[in-house]
Amino acid sequence: MFNVCDNKLIKFTVLSFRVAKMSLTEYSCEKSKYRYTQHQLMALICLMKRLRRDYRLFTSIIQLMPEICLILDLKKIPHYTALQKFFKRIKSQVIDEIMNQTVKLFDIKNPWVALDGTGHSC
């Protein structure tokens, strides 16, 4: 039988979510729409980068992962543009720090590095 606790993507998501909670405020500003927390969006970005998928494909994939949605307490899957806008808004140093902390906690020996058109690197 499949044990969710042994799934590496679940573990990675849990750790990313915890690190995001330690590193970010819940919402970026008072006038936020309060649909998704920065913690949820950051954990999704980390998982997307880990899976090496683009925004559109990732949001389609995440719909098929109910365990991830439960862990992140997602009532609705964010539109891919919500992830894009969050990624553009967040500072590179914050993303680097969160990814580095997650990699250290997960004990990944040789993490890969990728650059994209936004100027952020992970």
pLDDT, tens only, 31-78: 777 889 999 999 999 899 889 999 999 999 999 999 999 999 999 999
| pTM score, whole prediction | 0.76
User: Looking at this protein, which amino acid is placed at residue 46?
Assistant: C
Burial of 35 (0-12, 13-18, 19+ CB in 10 A): middle
Helix, strand, coil percentages in the chain from 3-state DSSP, rounded to 5: 60, 0, 40
